[in-house]
């Protein structure tokens, strides 16, 4: 007879999987952070949310988590994967490149924030041990949410993005000592703290050394062997084996599984398999981290809002305020501009996911009272949900703190009088190629770009590029638009292209406008507002791919190139005809015939 099935564990797993498969995609569709989606679902569907009403409403059994322990094991694996990913990010080269911000700005932020928050916790009546743990854990920020927000906005490469990433790396490095410290404090109480410290450090040193040596000797050969098989399933299995195996090895040595996975990530970050491993672990990492953040949300006790609304609000504002002030001040000391410093402070002011790991471990070891833990984790959760809003506030404040800088003298150079020339707008990768070919054919042109940092470098390399905004009619006139023969638009942004085309066509109804387009739909739109010729990136890529494929298959180059030209003309006619009805009602419907530059 088959053993009875524990329906509770399956119903709880269904709730979590339903969150991953239904709730989170809906959140993403409406532009919300998936991490916050998991946390919100955990808070609402967890035992402290709707799960607490099961006795009154039994039907909630199938849509809520009955017992947090049923998903605790998967959530622990989520933490293991989180530390593995952190280890993969902490490559030696990355730390070396960003050492000033990581070990300077980041380290000072962790130490000062922990000291100030721990001091306030002590003044509130907590013991020294509890205050130190709370200060250290709350000094950390949310790597997952901040990186997701910056990536979604395309701002990782900005000054604030780089500074935030550097501080987050420093905080990630601080996680391991914090977890070790909590383990030491929660060790065998029959021995002194000094004895616990010595014993724990000895075990940790031996275990870490053993894992590192074994990893150095066997990880690279293992992945070479697996890669030679050419099967993605084996690569995924090997990746999971390494992550979980090193975690188990660390746990057997009395350390956390997360520490073992962290070391494995560090070792693999320096190998040639790094990108492949990140790809293999990606789906598992996303789901397991989602479960982890779901359990984080389950720690949000909404009843705390009713019990102590004033102190909860004060703690949320206080935690963010303290860290924002410290981070902004430190960022200014490290010569970040006011806008970048303020944005970095607002992004990293809230608490982070490692607070749940550290404080949760301390609570399990009996170091922190459950009421203090519940209140602190609720505060942390609320601050984490505010990160997208704080990012929006930062971007709204940035123009007010803009620091005017003296322009590079090379940016003030004006184009000389010229006629019958082409104006190339944008000197990025596409514009650079266009200008190079115009040079090769000895055709006169003026290149312009609005990147103040890049223009001087272009000019020093020998290319005459002028700084200015091509959406301004007066600047276009200074560039000789009224006497030019053609305008070539190479910038990437749709809105920028549209505005440039409208301004040029408003000044000259007869000039040739050749513009880059993102796709066929954008090309049709450009034809409708007055371009002479639009070059869609997607169509050109397909044509070039077809040409390379046909020649590679042995077809004669001449006929192939001719057919490609015919196909290009066919696409152009289709796009122009599709745009014709729309253009007929436009004030700029008169377009000159397509012509070639001599």
pLDDT beyond 90 at 347? yes
Q: Which residue has the higher pLDDT, 128 or 183?
A: 128
Q: Please give the pLDDT value at position 593.
A: 44
Question: What pTM was estimated for this model as a whole?
Answer: 0.61
**Total Cβ atoms within 10 A of residue 565:** 12
The residues, ordered by sequence, that sit 6+ positions from 489 with a Cβ below 8 Å of its Cβ are: 425, 426, 497, 500, 501, 513, 514, 515, 516, 531
Q: Which residue has the higher pLDDT, 474 or 89?
A: 474
Last residue of a domain, one of 347, 369, 398: 398
User: pLDDT for 206-236, tens place per residue?
Assistant: 777 887 787 778 888 888 888 777 777 887 8
User: pLDDT for 568-583, tens place per residue?
Assistant: 888 888 888 777 665 5
Mean pLDDT of 319-347: 91
CATH code of 461's domain: 3.40.50.720
Are 296 and 39 contacting, i.e. CB atoms less than 8 angstroms apart?
yes
- Give yes or no: residues 393 and 465 share one domain: no
Residue 46 included in any domain: yes
Q: Which residue has the higher pLDDT, 575 or 486?
A: 486
- Give yes or no: residues 441 and 492 share one domain: yes
Residue 596 included in any domain: no
Residue 154 included in any domain: yes
Q: SS3 sequence, 348-396?
A: HCCCCCHHHHHHHHHHHCCCCCHHHHHHHHHHHHHHHHCHHHHHHHHHH
pLDDT beyond 80 at 564? yes
- Give yes or no: residues 358 and 430 share one domain: no
Mean pLDDT of 323-352: 91
pLDDT beyond 90 at 543? no
Q: 505 burial class (0-12, 13-18, 19+ CB within 10 angstroms)?
A: buried
Last residue of a domain, one of 398, 428, 453: 398
pLDDT beyond 60 at 155? yes
pLDDT beyond 70 at 92? no
Q: Which residue has the higher pLDDT, 307 or 413?
A: 307
- Give yes or no: residues 381 and 474 share one domain: no
Mean pLDDT of 43-65: 82
d(CA 159, CA 165): 10
pLDDT beyond 70 at 472? yes
Give residue 186's domain range.
15-398
Q: Which residue has the higher pLDDT, 2 or 508?
A: 508
Q: Please give the pLDDT value at position 36.
A: 77
Residue 516 included in any domain: yes
- Give yes or no: residues 218 and 309 share one domain: yes
Tokens representing residue 129 in the block: 């041990």
Q: Please give the pLDDT value at position 119.
A: 94
- Give yes or no: residues 450 and 561 share one domain: yes
Residue 198 included in any domain: yes
Q: Please give the pLDDT value at position 93.
A: 64
For residue 158, give the DSSP letter: S
pLDDT beyond 60 at 404? no
Q: Please give the pLDDT value at position 591.
A: 45
pLDDT beyond 50 at 489? yes
Average per-residue pLDDT for the chain: 80
pLDDT beyond 60 at 586? no
User: pLDDT for 236-283, tens place per residue?
Assistant: 888 888 888 888 888 777 666 777 787 888 788 777 677 777 777 777
pLDDT band per the 50, 70, 90 thresholds, residue 90: low
Domain count for the chain:
2
Q: Among 525, 533, 468, 537, which residue's Cα sits nearest to residue 498?
A: 525
Q: Which residue has the higher pLDDT, 134 or 92?
A: 134
CATH code of 235's domain: 1.20.1530.20
Mean pLDDT of 128-140: 92
- Give yes or no: residues 372 and 503 share one domain: no
Q: Please give the pLDDT value at position 595.
A: 44
Highest averaged pLDDT of the listed ranges 115-124, 408-417, 452-461 = 115-124
- Give yes or no: residues 273 and 382 share one domain: yes
Highest averaged pLDDT of the listed ranges 104-113, 163-172, 196-205 = 104-113
Q: Please give the pLDDT value at position 399.
A: 66
The residues, ordered by sequence, that sit 6+ positions from 203 with a Cβ below 8 Å of its Cβ are: 253, 254, 255
Mean pLDDT of 319-338: 92
pLDDT beyond 80 at 316? yes
Q: Do β-strands 465-467 and 486-489 pair in parallel, antiparallel, or remain unpaired?
A: unpaired
- Give yes or no: residues 392 and 270 share one domain: yes
Say whether 117 sits in a helix, a strand or coil. helix
Q: Please give the pLDDT value at position 573.
A: 84
Q: Please give the pLDDT value at position 320.
A: 95
Q: Please give the pLDDT value at position 215.
A: 78
pLDDT beyond 50 at 588? no
pLDDT band per the 50, 70, 90 thresholds, residue 6: low
Highest averaged pLDDT of the listed ranges 4-13, 396-405, 437-446 = 437-446
pLDDT band per the 50, 70, 90 thresholds, residue 480: confident
Residue 585 included in any domain: no
d(CA 117, CA 572): 64
Q: Please give the pLDDT value at position 260.
A: 79
- Give yes or no: residues 52 and 172 share one domain: yes
Are 293 and 371 contacting, i.e. CB atoms less than 8 angstroms apart?
no
Mean pLDDT of 57-74: 75
pLDDT band per the 50, 70, 90 thresholds, residue 424: very high
Residue 559 included in any domain: yes
Q: DSSP readout, 200-214?
A: HHHHHHHHHHHHHHH
Mean pLDDT of 389-403: 76
- Give yes or no: residues 369 and 435 share one domain: no
pLDDT beyond 80 at 141? yes
Q: Please give the pLDDT value at position 597.
A: 44
Residue 262 included in any domain: yes
d(CA 353, CA 204): 24
Q: Which residue has the higher pLDDT, 420 or 414?
A: 420
- Give yes or no: residues 506 and 571 share one domain: yes
Give the residue carrying structure tokens 């050394």.
Answer: 209
């Amino acid at each position: 007879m088959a053993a009875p099935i524990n329906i509770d564990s399956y119903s709880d797993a269904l709730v979590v999987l339903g969150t991953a498969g239904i709730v989170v995609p809906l959140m993403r569709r409406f532009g919300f952070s998936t991490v916050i989606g998991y946390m919100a679902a955990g808070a609402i569907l967890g035992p402290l949310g709707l799960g607490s009403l099961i006795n009154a409403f039994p039907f909630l059994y199938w849509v809520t988590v009955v017992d947090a322990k049923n998903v605790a094991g998967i959530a622990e694996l989520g933490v293991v994967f989180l530390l593995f990913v952190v280890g993969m990010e902490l490559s030696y080269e990355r730390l070396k490149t960003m050492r000033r911000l990581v070990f300077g700005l980041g380290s000072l932020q962790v130490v000062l924030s922990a000291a100030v928050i721990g001091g306030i916790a002590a003044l509130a009546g907590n013991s020294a041990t509890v205050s130190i743990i709370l200060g250290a854990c709350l000094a950390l920020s949310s790597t997952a949410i901040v990186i997701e927000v910056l990536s979604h906005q395309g701002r990782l490469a900005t000054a604030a993005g780089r500074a935030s990433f550097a501080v987050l790396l420093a905080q990630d490095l601080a996680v391991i000592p914090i977890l070790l410290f909590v383990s030491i404090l929660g060790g065998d109480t029959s021995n002194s703290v000094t004895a616990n410290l010595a014993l724990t450090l000895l075990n940790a040193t031996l275990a870490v050394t053993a894992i590192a040596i074994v990893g150095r000797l066997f990880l690279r050969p293992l992945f070479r062997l697996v890669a030679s098989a050419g099967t993605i399933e084996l690569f995924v299995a090997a990746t999971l084996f390494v992550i979980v195996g090193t975690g188990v090895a660390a746990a057997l040595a009395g350390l956390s599984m997360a520490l073992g996975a962290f070391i494995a990530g560090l070792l693999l970050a320096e190998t040639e398999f790094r990108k492949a491993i990140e790809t293999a672990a990606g789906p598992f990492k996303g789901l397991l981290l989602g479960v982890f953040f779901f359990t984080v949300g389950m720690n949000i006790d909404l009843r705390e809002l009713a019990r102590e609304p004033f102190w909860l609000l004060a703690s949320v504002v206080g935690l963010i305020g303290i860290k924002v002030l410290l981070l902004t001040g430190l960022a200014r000391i490290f010569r970040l501009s006011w806008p970048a410093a303020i944005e970095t402070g607002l992004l990293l002011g809230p608490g982070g996911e490692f607070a749940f790991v550290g404080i949760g471990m301390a609570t399990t070891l009996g170091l922190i009272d459950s009421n203090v833990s519940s209140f602190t984790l609720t505060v942390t959760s609320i601050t984490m949900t505010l990160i997208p809003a704080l990012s929006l506030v930062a971007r709204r404040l940035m123009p007010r703190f803009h620091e005017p800088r003296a322009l590079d003298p090379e940016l003030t150079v004006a184009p000389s009088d010229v006629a019958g020339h082409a104006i190339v707008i944008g000197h990025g990768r596409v514009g650079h190629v266009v200008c190079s070919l115009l040079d090769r054919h000895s055709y006169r042109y003026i290149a312009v770009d609005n990147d103040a940092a890049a223009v001087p470098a272009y000019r020093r390399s020998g290319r005459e590029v002028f700084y200015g905004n091509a959406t301004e009619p007066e600047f276009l006139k200074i560039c000789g638009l009224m006497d030019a023969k053609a305008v070539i638009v190479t910038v990437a942004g749709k809105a920028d292209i549209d505005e440039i085309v409208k301004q040029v066509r408003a000044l000259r109804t007869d000039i040739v406008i050749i513009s880059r387009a993102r796709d066929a739909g954008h090309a049709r739109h450009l034809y409708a507002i007055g371009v002479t010729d639009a070059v869609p990136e997607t169509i050109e890529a397909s044509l070039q791919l077809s040409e390379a494929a046909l020649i590679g298959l042995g077809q004669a180059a001449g006929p192939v190139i001719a057919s490609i030209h015919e196909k290009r003309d066919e696409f152009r006619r289709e796009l122009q005809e599709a745009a014709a009805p729309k253009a007929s009602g436009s004030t700029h419907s008169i377009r000159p015939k397509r012509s070639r530059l001599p």
